[in-house]
A and B are shown apart, each in its own frame.
Chain A
Amino acid sequence: MSAVPSSPAASHLNFFASFIEKELGIVYEAANYYQLESRLKEICKNLEIEDVATLYSKAQAQGITGNFKQMLLDVATNNETSFFRDPKVFKCIEDYLIPELKKNNPATIVFRIWSAASSFGQEPYTLAMLLNEMKAKDPSLPNFEIWTTDISKAALERAKTGRYSQLEVQRGLPPLLLIKYFEKDADNYWTLKNDIRSKVRFEEMNLLKMDKVVGHFDFVLCRNVLIYQNEERKKKIIANIADRIKKGGFLILGASESLINLSDAFEQIVTGGAVLYRKK
């Protein structure tokens, strides 16, 4: 008689969820255990381990260290946070948005940019690397100042360190930028060099309250925030952001988000497969 594959025991999932919470401050609600389960199964496949129960036994017997630890911590951030997430957007910033801003604001000496949901920092740091590369090619570009905010203090604290696992730095980041902007340490973690990290300023902030943002911005990235909000909150967040964008400045939303029925303060521009909104 062959064995019937069973779901991992809740106690095993609890164990891994607590470990991730302790290390990263990320909480897996029981309702999301299915997600944790599928990610643990992926680790099993990678480590050539039969199932989650065996993975649990390994953790109990040998502790969670080395590659195993790296992979486990990584599952909590899997696909959520990637450098150059949705590459079309960054291509569009490089090819269209920045040249447009420069053309329309010839007297500007600093572009002010706001990454409105920093998470673990991949988005603001991607902007910092991209703009640094652009400025190296065209020194006549203005300098840039990047603000980033997030509602999660734990996420921001982690983002500020600029330190990422070997798996995290491989998500979206071309190897040439990795070796140019990061330093590897003995634990196989990679830390963004200080000169680029210092270009980004962090604030803990709720987009519904807007109590920490100062001044006006040339462009704002607010990706994958609206999808988690109801209609009323979406409108409030967009109105708050619109108040902080200069006339002719830009807003970029997540790939599955739009301003339809939310705001008429912007005109939509589609270029290079990406969607931008220009403040009227």
Chain B
Amino acid sequence: MTLALLVVYIHLVSSVLLVGYFLFWLIMTVGLERLEPAAEVAPLTAAMLAGARWPPAVVPWKLRLTVPGLGWTFLAVLVLSGIAESLAGARYPVGGALGLKLALLAALAAAHAQLGRRPTPGLAKLSLGLALGIVVVSVLLPR
């Protein structure tokens, strides 16, 4: 496997993880909304945002990633591997499918910034939709 193929592989795996991440948010926020009593929702959400850290062991607590931190990490890997793909020879005309993909990515980053602070089912649906939209638009990029 050449370096260029390895970069494509990393890009694909991080796309899979990012979609899984937003699916997690959708399942979690909708699940929380269905909870009875509703007064439990805010403390459970706060506990998840502050207390769920990855990796769960080995690394000191302060250095562990929060759940939104995981999302930012996946996004960063996607952007960096996407740039690396471009540098490795994939020349796409800016505009058209690539322009749409970058616009969707910017919208996803904005939605994620909000989702990481105040998660709601609506934001989770929007984010997952945007992530899947990016996947669909990527198929249209010329090879």
Tell me if chain B binds chain A. no
What is B's interface to A at a CB cutoff of 8 Å?
none
